[in-house]
Protein backbone atom coordinates (compact mmCIF):
# COMPACT_ATOMS: atom_id res chain seq x y z
CA UNK A 1 0.00 0.00 0.00
CA UNK A 2 1.30 3.42 -0.94
CA UNK A 3 1.57 6.09 1.77
CA UNK A 4 2.66 9.76 2.11
CA UNK A 5 6.24 9.96 0.84
CA UNK A 6 9.05 12.17 2.12
CA UNK A 7 12.25 12.86 0.20
CA UNK A 8 15.88 13.90 0.73
CA UNK A 9 16.34 17.52 -0.43
CA UNK A 10 18.78 18.07 -3.30
CA UNK A 11 20.89 21.06 -2.26
CA UNK A 12 22.53 23.32 -4.83
CA UNK A 13 25.09 26.04 -4.14
CA UNK A 14 24.78 29.14 -6.33
CA UNK A 15 26.94 32.26 -6.68
CA UNK A 16 23.94 34.27 -5.52
CA UNK A 17 22.93 31.88 -2.70
CA UNK A 18 22.98 32.50 1.03
CA UNK A 19 22.27 30.95 4.43
CA UNK A 20 18.52 31.49 4.85
CA UNK A 21 17.46 28.00 3.75
CA UNK A 22 19.60 26.75 6.61
CA UNK A 23 18.33 29.27 9.17
CA UNK A 24 14.64 29.19 8.15
CA UNK A 25 14.23 25.53 7.19
CA UNK A 26 17.28 23.85 8.80
CA UNK A 27 18.62 22.60 5.48
CA UNK A 28 22.00 20.95 6.06
CA UNK A 29 24.09 23.36 4.00
CA UNK A 30 27.86 23.02 4.09
CA UNK A 31 28.42 26.56 2.77
CA UNK A 32 26.78 29.99 2.94
CA UNK A 33 26.05 29.88 -0.81
CA UNK A 34 23.02 27.56 -0.72
CA UNK A 35 20.77 28.94 -3.44
CA UNK A 36 18.27 26.15 -4.09
CA UNK A 37 16.82 23.14 -2.32
CA UNK A 38 15.09 20.87 -4.83
CA UNK A 39 12.40 19.43 -2.63
CA UNK A 40 10.64 17.10 -5.05
CA UNK A 41 12.15 16.38 -8.44
CA UNK A 42 11.98 13.83 -11.20
CA UNK A 43 14.34 15.85 -13.38
CA UNK A 44 16.91 13.62 -15.08
CA UNK A 45 20.05 13.42 -12.94
CA UNK A 46 18.30 15.03 -9.97
CA UNK A 47 15.65 12.47 -9.03
CA UNK A 48 14.41 12.77 -5.42
CA UNK A 49 15.00 9.77 -3.15
CA UNK A 50 12.44 8.57 -0.58
CA UNK A 51 13.49 8.75 3.10
CA UNK A 52 10.52 7.15 4.92
CA UNK A 53 8.78 3.79 5.02
CA UNK A 54 9.45 0.59 3.08
CA UNK A 55 10.16 2.52 -0.14
CA UNK A 56 13.09 4.43 1.41
CA UNK A 57 16.07 4.49 -0.93
CA UNK A 58 14.01 4.40 -4.13
CA UNK A 59 13.97 7.45 -6.35
CA UNK A 60 10.91 9.08 -7.87
CA UNK A 61 11.36 7.67 -11.36
CA UNK A 62 11.70 4.14 -10.00
CA UNK A 63 8.44 4.61 -8.11
CA UNK A 64 6.63 5.79 -11.25
CA UNK A 65 7.94 2.74 -13.14
CA UNK A 66 6.45 0.46 -10.49
CA UNK A 67 3.24 2.23 -9.47
CA UNK A 68 2.42 4.31 -12.58
CA UNK A 69 -1.05 5.92 -12.28
CA UNK A 70 -1.45 4.67 -8.73
CA UNK A 71 1.31 7.11 -7.78
CA UNK A 72 0.82 10.11 -10.08
CA UNK A 73 -2.69 9.60 -11.49
CA UNK A 74 -3.77 7.75 -14.62
CA UNK A 75 -4.13 10.85 -16.76
CA UNK A 76 -0.74 12.15 -15.69
CA UNK A 77 0.83 8.79 -16.48
CA UNK A 78 -0.82 8.76 -19.90
CA UNK A 79 0.47 12.28 -20.57
CA UNK A 80 3.93 12.24 -19.00
CA UNK A 81 4.87 8.56 -18.79
CA UNK A 82 7.85 8.11 -16.46
CA UNK A 83 8.47 11.87 -16.25
CA UNK A 84 7.22 13.53 -13.07
CA UNK A 85 5.54 16.71 -14.36
CA UNK A 86 6.47 19.22 -11.66
CA UNK A 87 9.55 20.43 -9.81
CA UNK A 88 9.35 21.92 -6.30
CA UNK A 89 12.09 24.22 -4.99
CA UNK A 90 12.99 26.53 -2.15
CA UNK A 91 15.18 29.42 -3.35
CA UNK A 92 17.29 31.91 -1.35
CA UNK A 93 18.43 34.98 -3.31
CA UNK A 94 21.22 36.47 -1.20
CA UNK A 95 22.08 38.54 -4.29
CA UNK A 96 20.00 39.50 -7.32
CA UNK A 97 19.35 36.59 -9.63
CA UNK A 98 19.91 37.07 -13.34
CA UNK A 99 17.04 38.53 -15.35
CA UNK A 100 15.66 35.66 -17.41
CA UNK A 101 12.83 34.18 -19.39
CA UNK A 102 11.69 30.61 -20.06
CA UNK A 103 10.34 29.11 -23.28
CA UNK A 104 6.95 27.47 -23.58
CA UNK A 105 6.35 23.84 -24.45
CA UNK A 106 6.56 24.18 -28.23
CA UNK A 107 9.91 26.01 -28.35
CA UNK A 108 11.38 23.93 -25.51
CA UNK A 109 10.44 20.69 -27.28
CA UNK A 110 11.84 21.85 -30.62
CA UNK A 111 15.12 23.26 -29.28
CA UNK A 112 15.82 21.21 -26.17
CA UNK A 113 13.59 18.12 -26.25
CA UNK A 114 12.20 19.41 -22.96
CA UNK A 115 9.05 20.70 -21.35
CA UNK A 116 8.61 24.46 -21.22
CA UNK A 117 8.73 26.27 -17.92
CA UNK A 118 5.70 27.94 -16.41
CA UNK A 119 6.09 28.53 -12.68
CA UNK A 120 4.82 30.34 -9.60
CA UNK A 121 6.41 31.88 -6.53
CA UNK A 122 5.18 32.05 -2.95
CA UNK A 123 7.30 34.54 -0.99
CA UNK A 124 8.49 32.84 2.20
CA UNK A 125 10.65 35.70 3.47
CA UNK A 126 11.69 39.13 2.22
CA UNK A 127 14.06 41.75 3.58
CA UNK A 128 12.77 45.29 3.94
CA UNK A 129 12.79 46.97 0.53
CA UNK A 130 13.22 43.68 -1.37
CA UNK A 131 11.87 43.51 -4.92
CA UNK A 132 11.08 41.16 -7.77
CA UNK A 133 11.30 41.95 -11.46
CA UNK A 134 8.06 40.94 -13.18
CA UNK A 135 7.71 41.77 -16.87
CA UNK A 136 7.81 45.14 -18.62
CA UNK A 137 6.49 48.33 -17.01
CA UNK A 138 5.06 49.44 -20.40
CA UNK A 139 4.45 47.74 -23.73
CA UNK A 140 7.79 47.33 -25.44
CA UNK A 141 8.95 46.60 -29.01
CA UNK A 142 11.74 44.23 -30.00
CA UNK A 143 13.76 47.17 -31.35
CA UNK A 144 13.39 49.18 -28.14
CA UNK A 145 14.41 46.13 -26.15
CA UNK A 146 17.48 45.47 -28.33
CA UNK A 147 18.52 49.13 -28.12
CA UNK A 148 18.27 48.96 -24.33
CA UNK A 149 20.36 45.78 -24.31
CA UNK A 150 23.00 47.49 -26.44
CA UNK A 151 23.08 50.51 -24.11
CA UNK A 152 23.05 48.35 -20.94
CA UNK A 153 19.70 49.87 -19.90
CA UNK A 154 17.37 46.86 -20.06
CA UNK A 155 16.56 47.24 -16.35
CA UNK A 156 14.94 50.60 -17.13
CA UNK A 157 12.24 48.83 -19.16
CA UNK A 158 11.28 46.31 -16.50
CA UNK A 159 8.76 46.41 -13.67
CA UNK A 160 10.15 46.21 -10.13
CA UNK A 161 7.61 45.04 -7.57
CA UNK A 162 8.12 45.45 -3.79
CA UNK A 163 7.39 42.18 -2.00
CA UNK A 164 6.64 40.88 1.45
CA UNK A 165 6.04 37.51 3.04
CA UNK A 166 3.03 35.68 1.64
CA UNK A 167 2.97 37.41 -1.75
CA UNK A 168 2.22 35.14 -4.72
CA UNK A 169 3.23 35.56 -8.38
CA UNK A 170 2.32 33.47 -11.42
CA UNK A 171 5.13 33.36 -13.99
CA UNK A 172 3.98 31.93 -17.33
CA UNK A 173 6.53 31.03 -20.00
CA UNK A 174 7.55 34.18 -21.87
CA UNK A 175 7.33 36.54 -18.88
CA UNK A 176 10.67 38.22 -18.10
CA UNK A 177 11.43 37.94 -14.38
CA UNK A 178 14.04 37.88 -11.63
CA UNK A 179 14.18 37.31 -7.89
CA UNK A 180 15.79 40.24 -6.12
CA UNK A 181 18.29 40.28 -3.30
CA UNK A 182 16.86 39.37 0.11
CA UNK A 183 13.94 37.23 -1.11
CA UNK A 184 13.22 33.58 -0.29
CA UNK A 185 10.56 31.84 -2.36
CA UNK A 186 8.87 28.49 -2.70
CA UNK A 187 8.80 27.76 -6.43
CA UNK A 188 6.45 25.36 -8.18
CA UNK A 189 7.25 24.80 -11.84
CA UNK A 190 7.07 22.49 -14.80
CA UNK A 191 9.85 19.91 -14.69
CA UNK A 192 12.30 21.85 -16.84
CA UNK A 193 15.65 23.52 -16.31
CA UNK A 194 15.64 25.62 -19.52
CA UNK A 195 16.49 29.24 -18.77
CA UNK A 196 17.38 32.05 -21.16
CA UNK A 197 19.49 34.57 -19.28
CA UNK A 198 19.06 38.08 -20.70
CA UNK A 199 20.99 40.18 -18.16
CA UNK A 200 23.31 39.34 -15.26
CA UNK A 201 24.57 42.69 -13.92
CA UNK A 202 27.98 42.04 -15.57
CA UNK A 203 28.91 39.66 -12.76
CA UNK A 204 32.04 37.57 -13.24
CA UNK A 205 33.14 34.17 -11.96
CA UNK A 206 36.38 33.51 -10.06
CA UNK A 207 38.23 33.60 -13.40
CA UNK A 208 36.84 36.98 -14.36
CA UNK A 209 34.44 35.64 -16.99
CA UNK A 210 30.90 36.94 -17.35
CA UNK A 211 28.16 34.32 -17.59
CA UNK A 212 26.75 33.68 -21.05
CA UNK A 213 23.62 35.53 -22.13
CA UNK A 214 20.98 34.05 -24.43
CA UNK A 215 19.81 37.21 -26.21
CA UNK A 216 18.92 35.66 -29.58
CA UNK A 217 17.16 32.60 -28.13
CA UNK A 218 15.18 34.80 -25.72
CA UNK A 219 13.88 37.11 -28.47
CA UNK A 220 11.59 34.44 -29.85
CA UNK A 221 9.88 33.74 -26.52
CA UNK A 222 9.69 37.09 -24.68
CA UNK A 223 6.25 38.59 -24.07
CA UNK A 224 6.84 42.30 -24.70
CA UNK A 225 3.48 43.49 -23.39
CA UNK A 226 3.27 45.32 -20.08
CA UNK A 227 2.75 43.11 -17.03
CA UNK A 228 -0.17 44.72 -15.21
CA UNK A 229 -1.15 43.71 -11.67
CA UNK A 230 1.38 40.85 -11.53
CA UNK A 231 0.65 39.93 -7.91
CA UNK A 232 -1.97 37.26 -7.21
CA UNK A 233 -4.65 38.67 -4.93
CA UNK A 234 -5.97 36.35 -2.24
CA UNK A 235 -7.03 36.33 1.40
CA UNK A 236 -6.14 33.19 3.35
CA UNK A 237 -8.64 32.48 6.11
CA UNK A 238 -7.61 30.25 9.00
CA UNK A 239 -8.77 26.63 8.72
CA UNK A 240 -9.96 27.04 5.15
CA UNK A 241 -8.55 26.15 1.73
CA UNK A 242 -7.64 29.23 -0.31
CA UNK A 243 -7.00 28.97 -4.09
CA UNK A 244 -3.83 30.69 -5.33
CA UNK A 245 -3.04 29.61 -8.89
CA UNK A 246 -4.81 27.35 -11.35
CA UNK A 247 -3.40 26.66 -14.81
CA UNK A 248 -3.10 23.69 -17.14
CA UNK A 249 0.20 22.69 -15.50
CA UNK A 250 -0.69 22.86 -11.81
CA UNK A 251 -3.24 24.00 -9.25
CA UNK A 252 -1.97 25.47 -5.98
CA UNK A 253 -3.92 26.21 -2.80
CA UNK A 254 -2.72 27.54 0.52
CA UNK A 255 -3.96 25.99 3.77
CA UNK A 256 -3.53 27.85 7.04
CA UNK A 257 -4.81 25.77 9.93
CA UNK A 258 -4.49 25.27 13.66
CA UNK A 259 -7.26 22.67 13.94
CA UNK A 260 -7.51 19.11 12.62
CA UNK A 261 -8.69 19.00 9.02
CA UNK A 262 -9.57 16.21 6.63
CA UNK A 263 -8.75 16.40 2.93
CA UNK A 264 -10.68 14.42 0.32
CA UNK A 265 -8.98 13.66 -3.01
CA UNK A 266 -11.22 11.05 -4.64
CA UNK A 267 -12.46 13.66 -7.13
CA UNK A 268 -9.05 14.25 -8.72
CA UNK A 269 -6.87 11.95 -10.79
CA UNK A 270 -3.53 13.27 -9.60
CA UNK A 271 -0.87 13.08 -6.94
CA UNK A 272 -0.93 15.89 -4.38
CA UNK A 273 2.19 17.58 -3.01
CA UNK A 274 2.41 19.42 0.30
CA UNK A 275 5.06 22.11 0.91
CA UNK A 276 5.13 22.94 4.63
CA UNK A 277 6.30 26.54 5.00
CA UNK A 278 5.35 27.17 8.64
CA UNK A 279 4.56 24.95 11.62
CA UNK A 280 4.54 21.18 12.07
CA UNK A 281 1.79 18.59 11.67
CA UNK A 282 1.04 14.90 11.36
CA UNK A 283 -0.60 13.20 8.38
CA UNK A 284 -2.89 10.38 9.48
CA UNK A 285 -3.73 7.87 6.75
CA UNK A 286 -5.20 4.43 7.43
CA UNK A 287 -3.06 3.18 10.35
CA UNK A 288 -0.02 5.30 9.49
CA UNK A 289 1.26 8.60 10.84
CA UNK A 290 3.73 10.79 8.95
CA UNK A 291 5.41 13.65 10.78
CA UNK A 292 5.80 16.78 8.65
CA UNK A 293 8.07 19.59 9.82
CA UNK A 294 8.59 23.11 8.55
CA UNK A 295 10.54 22.87 5.29
CA UNK A 296 9.36 19.36 4.39
CA UNK A 297 7.70 18.53 1.07
CA UNK A 298 5.51 15.42 0.98
CA UNK A 299 4.08 13.52 -1.99
CA UNK A 300 0.58 12.14 -1.53
CA UNK A 301 0.04 9.29 -4.04
CA UNK A 302 -3.00 9.48 -6.31
CA UNK A 303 -4.34 6.26 -4.76
CA UNK A 304 -4.97 8.06 -1.44
CA UNK A 305 -8.54 9.38 -1.39
CA UNK A 306 -8.69 10.80 2.14
CA UNK A 307 -6.34 11.76 4.96
CA UNK A 308 -6.28 13.91 8.08
CA UNK A 309 -3.89 16.71 9.00
CA UNK A 310 -3.20 17.12 12.73
CA UNK A 311 -1.32 20.35 13.55
CA UNK A 312 1.06 20.92 16.46
CA UNK A 313 0.70 24.68 15.97
CA UNK A 314 -0.45 27.01 13.22
CA UNK A 315 0.60 25.57 9.86
CA UNK A 316 1.04 27.22 6.45
CA UNK A 317 0.90 24.60 3.73
CA UNK A 318 0.95 24.79 -0.06
CA UNK A 319 -1.20 22.07 -1.62
CA UNK A 320 -0.42 21.30 -5.27
CA UNK A 321 -1.90 18.91 -7.84
CA UNK A 322 -2.12 18.75 -11.61
CA UNK A 323 -5.77 18.52 -12.63
CA UNK A 324 -9.34 18.47 -11.42
CA UNK A 325 -11.11 20.01 -8.47
CA UNK A 326 -10.93 19.20 -4.77
What's the CATH number for 5-219?
Answer: 2.60.120.10
223-262, pLDDT tens digit by residue? 999 998 899 999 999 999 999 999 999 999 999 999 999 9
Write the DSSP symbol of residue 52: S
pLDDT of residue 326: 44
Nearest one of 113, 232, 125 to 172, comparing CA atoms: 232
pLDDT of residue 323: 79
Q: Please give the Cα distance from 125 to 129 (Å, whole number).
A: 12
159-204, pLDDT tens digit by residue? 999 999 999 999 999 999 999 999 999 999 999 999 999 999 888 7
Is residue 164 within 8 A of residue 170, CB to CB? The reply is no
| CATH superfamily entry for domain 240-321 | Jelly Rolls (2.60.120.10)
Q: Please give the Cα distance from 25 to 294 (Å, whole number).
A: 6
**Residues identified as active-site:** 197
119-147, pLDDT tens digit by residue? 999 999 999 999 999 999 999 999 999 99
Q: Please give the Cα distance from 83 to 249 (Å, whole number).
A: 14
Domain boundaries, given as residue ranges, for the chain:
5-219, 240-321
Q: Which residues of 189-198 are buried (b: 16+ CB within 10 A; e: fewer)?
A: bbbbbbebbb
Nearest one of 129, 133, 131, 128 to 156, comparing CA atoms: 133
Is residue 93 within 8 A of residue 163, CB to CB? The reply is no
3-46, pLDDT tens digit by residue? 999 999 999 999 999 999 999 999 998 889 999 999 999 999 99
- Give the burial class of 38: count Cβ atoms within 10 A of its Cβ; 0-12 exposed, 13-18 middle, 19 or more buried: buried
User: What percentage of residues in the chain have a pLDDT greater than 90?
Assistant: 93
Given this chain, do its domains 5-219 and 240-321 carry the same CATH topology? yes
User: Is a pLDDT exceeding 70 seen at residue 324?
Assistant: no
pLDDT of residue 149: 93
Q: Please give the Cα distance from 109 to 100 (Å, whole number).
A: 19
User: For the whole model, what pTM was predicted?
Assistant: 0.96
User: Is a pLDDT exceeding 90 seen at residue 205?
Assistant: no
Amino acid sequence: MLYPLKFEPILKDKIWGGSKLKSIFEKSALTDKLGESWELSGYEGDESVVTNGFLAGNNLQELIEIYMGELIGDQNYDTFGLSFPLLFKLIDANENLSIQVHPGDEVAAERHNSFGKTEMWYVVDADKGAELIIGFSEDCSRDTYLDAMEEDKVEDLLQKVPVSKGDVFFIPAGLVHAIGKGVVVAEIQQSSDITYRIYDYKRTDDKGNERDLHTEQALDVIDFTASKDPKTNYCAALNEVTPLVSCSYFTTNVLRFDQNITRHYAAIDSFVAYMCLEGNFVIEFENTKTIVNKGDTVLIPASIDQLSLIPDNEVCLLEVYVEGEV
